[in-house]
Copies of this chain bind each other. A is one copy, B any other.
Amino acid sequence: MSTDIVERVLSGDRRALARMVTLIENEAPEARDYLARLYPQSGRAQIVGFTGSPGAGKSTLVTQVVRELRRRDLRIGVVAVDPSSPFTGGAILGDRIRMQELAGDPQVFIRSMASRGSLGGLAASTRDVARALDAAGYDVVIIETVGAGQAEVEIVRAAHTVLVVTVPGMGDDIQALKAGILEIADIFVVNKADRPGADQTAAELRMLLSLAGKQPKSAEVWRVPILKTSATLGAGIPELVDALFRHRAFLSESGQLTQRNQRQVRSEVLALLQHTLGQRLRSAVAEDEWQRLIDEVVERRANPYSVAELLARRVGLGDSKEDAVSSREGATSAS
């Protein structure tokens, strides 16, 4: 059966893929082995991340982009992620339901992922789900996140191409755009561009991007385009899809695709190691001992640094010769 599901996913079986995605989302123990087996077949899709402020119309835009990609006869996977709190989810759910219009198309696979567990866990699950869709043969995999904070930045970091969606009249808000967002944006979209102020918003963005060194003259550096769309009117969508493919071509031809992949693999391996550390800690230290150590620190009978050293030794991390403080013994004697 374990052979079965991986092979069925690779052969394009949608039900097997849906089950695989559920196993990944639930962090089922067998999921990692399945992912290891899917991995060699991944790496063909263009992974595209959509992020930006709530209310920027991302879901409608994604729906239009999917339609345009279908016109170009491509198979599309969509992973929609909401890392925010449940009580902001109402309007978003409506958008997602609209997106489900696409779900009747057998060449489109859409999955919403709810926030559960840690942010790191969500970012990892999203990356793994995108990888499964990639291995299953979807040509473009879109990761859409709700919001524009650090959480969303983490999530779309796994993409080849990151689109940041804004709207006209952001005014002061544009100042508040997280530096992190500017740094990850490969394409900026001013959506709802039929509203007043779209040109001004585009000009302000161009200025910010210039300041950040993202509007270079050199052809060796990607010049972040600022595109205007109206997702509800369907305007500017073919141009946006063209820009996606232009970015993919730029990455390949400039050699930056390899660099980006290397950076992503490095951070993924580090995240997997941290996950292992957490597992080892849970099996090496019983909850009541944890609680006792924490109490000692809270009551100033121990300090956090020596407790961390004690636990590092317990999980096997404690024998580095370079560790200058490892000669101190015992967590509770340090104060």
Residues of chain A at the chain B interface (Cβ within 8 Å): 29, 32-33, 35-36, 39-40, 42-43, 53-55, 84-85, 87-88, 119, 147-151, 153, 172-173, 175-176, 178-180, 182-183, 211-212, 258, 261-262, 265-266, 268-270, 272-274, 276-281, 283-284, 290-291, 293-295, 297-298, 300, 303-309, 311-312, 315-325, 334-335
Report whether B39 and A304 are in contact in the complex, using a CB–CB cutoff of 8 Å: yes
Contacts of A315 in B (CB 8 A): 273, 316-317
Report whether B316 and A54 are in contact in the complex, using a CB–CB cutoff of 8 Å: no
Report whether A150 and B151 are in contact in the complex, using a CB–CB cutoff of 8 Å: yes
Contacts of A151 in B (CB 8 A): 150, 180
Q: A172-B55, A277-B317 are in contact. Are A261 and B178 (CB under 8 A)?
A: no
Contacts of A322 in B (CB 8 A): 279, 283
Separation in Å of the A306 CB from the closest CB of chain B? 6
Which single residue of chain B is at the shortest CB-CB distance from A127? B304
A258 and B295 CA atoms in complex are apart in Å by 9
Contacts of A258 in B (CB 8 A): 298
Contacts of A323 in B (CB 8 A): 276, 279-280
Which single residue of chain B is at the shortest CB-CB distance from A182? B85
Report whether A319 and B320 are in contact in the complex, using a CB–CB cutoff of 8 Å: no
Which single residue of chain B is at the shortest CB-CB distance from A31? B305
Contact of A265 among B173, B280, B297 (CB under 8 A): B297
Report whether B294 and A266 are in contact in the complex, using a CB–CB cutoff of 8 Å: yes
Top 7 closest A-B pairs, CB basis?
A150-B150, A85-B179, A316-B316, A272-B308, A39-B303, A40-B335, A84-B179
